[in-house]
Amino acid sequence: MSRIWEKISDWVLFAALIIMSIVMMFASNDPLTRGLRARSLEVTSVVETWFVGLGRYVRALEENEALREQNLELSNDVARMRDAVHENTRLRSMLALSDSSSVEMIAAEIVSKDITRERNHFVLSVGRADGVEEGMAVIDTRGIIGKTDLVTENRAQVMTYLNSDFILPVVVLPAGADGMLEWNGERFDRLSMNLVSRSTRVSAGDIVVTSGYSSIFHAGYPVGVVDTVFTPPGMPTHTIFVRPAAPLDDATHVFVVRRHGVPNQIDPSPES
């Protein structure tokens, strides 16, 4: 008997489970069963809601990352457009100056800068092959930049006005006061003008231009604007601090003046 039971026990268990399933199916309207179903629905709905929320959170993170990347790309595009507009405006100004000036000039690009020391220099993209020689004035559309002091076949070094060896005869307008302009090696945004008689009335905002008492710079090139006037006690002269018309840090293209002429009027106020 026991052997027979061992052989059919699995089938009996299987049949019992089938019968129980059928009974459960027919008893589906039983209140207990309906309660279990309702409870199961509540549990599964909570779990489903949690997974849906998690999916939305992950999608939101992905969308935010995509928006950040798009915003960065748009910001870069705007910056490049602004730089292009600024460069286009600068080049148009240089072209207009070159076309309207009676001075023969050589257009050049600044290929390197060294403006962190006492003797600051630029290197230009032109040289002896382009007609550049040592001792030529270098300007841009805003005013003076410096002078060439070393020239090779295809490159020219410029001694900028931010150089302790650069000294330039200038005049303050409208007073007509002459003086010598130099850089004292301290601030990069200020030059000093010395030997101006204290009897001369000079005020902040007056224009400073080249006086013409130079073998390199003709009269009338913009130099800058008077920033401060200082008169040491007991001294017969003013010390005038001048804000340069052409800041060097944003200079990109310049002209080398080949021969003297009467320069056109250029607004000497530094660009904002």
Q: Which residue has the higher pLDDT, 8 or 120?
A: 120
- Is the model's pLDDT at 271 over the cut of 50? no
pLDDT of residue 138: 96
Averaged pLDDT for residues 85-113: 66
pLDDT score, position 270: 42
| pLDDT in the model for residue 268 | 47
pLDDT of 127: 95
Query: What is the predicted pLDDT for the residue at 105?
Result: 87
Per the CB < 8 A criterion, the answer to whether 260 and 137 are in contact is: no
Most distant pair of Cα atoms in the chain: their distance? 139
Q: Per-residue pLDDT tens for 148-158?
A: 999 999 999 99
For position 181, what pLDDT does the model report?
A: 95
Q: For the chain, how far is it from start to end, CA to CA, in angstroms?
A: 109
pLDDT score of 19: 65
**pLDDT class for 272, splitting at 50, 70, 90?**
very low
User: Which of the four pLDDT bands, split at 50, 70 and 90, describes residue 2?
Assistant: low
Whole-Å CA distances, 88 to 15, 93, 108, 253: 91, 9, 15, 11
Once rounded to an integer, what is the mean pLDDT over residues 107-112?
Answer: 93
User: Would you say 267 and 113 are in contact if contact means Cβ atoms under 8 Å apart?
Assistant: no
pLDDT at 255: 92
pLDDT band at 262 (very low <50, low <70, confident <90, very high): very low
Res 230: pLDDT: 86
pTM: 0.61
The helix or strand, by DSSP H or E, that contains position 134, with its residue range, turns out to be none
Q: State residue 149's pLDDT score.
A: 94
Q: In whole angstroms, what is the distance from residue 150 CA to residue 271 CA?
A: 29
Residues 185-207 have a mean pLDDT of 89
For residue 125, what pLDDT band results from cuts at 50, 70 and 90?
very high
- CA angle (124 as vertex; 115, 157 as ends), nearest 5: 65
Q: Which of 199, 189, 197, 256 is nearest to 224 (CA)?
A: 189
pLDDT of residue 52: 65
Predicted confidence band at 258 (pLDDT cuts at 50, 70, 90)?
A: confident
Q: What are 145-184's pLDDT values in tens digits?
A: 999 999 999 999 999 999 989 999 999 999 888 999 999 8
Pick the CATH number of 105-257 from 2.40.160.20, 2.40.10.340, 1.10.8.60, 2.40.50.100: 2.40.10.340
The DSSP symbol for 123 reads E
Q: How far apart are CA 16 and CA 5, in angstroms?
A: 15
The CA R_g of the chain, rounded to the nearest whole Å, is 41
Domain residue ranges in the chain: 1-100, 105-257
pLDDT at 131: 93
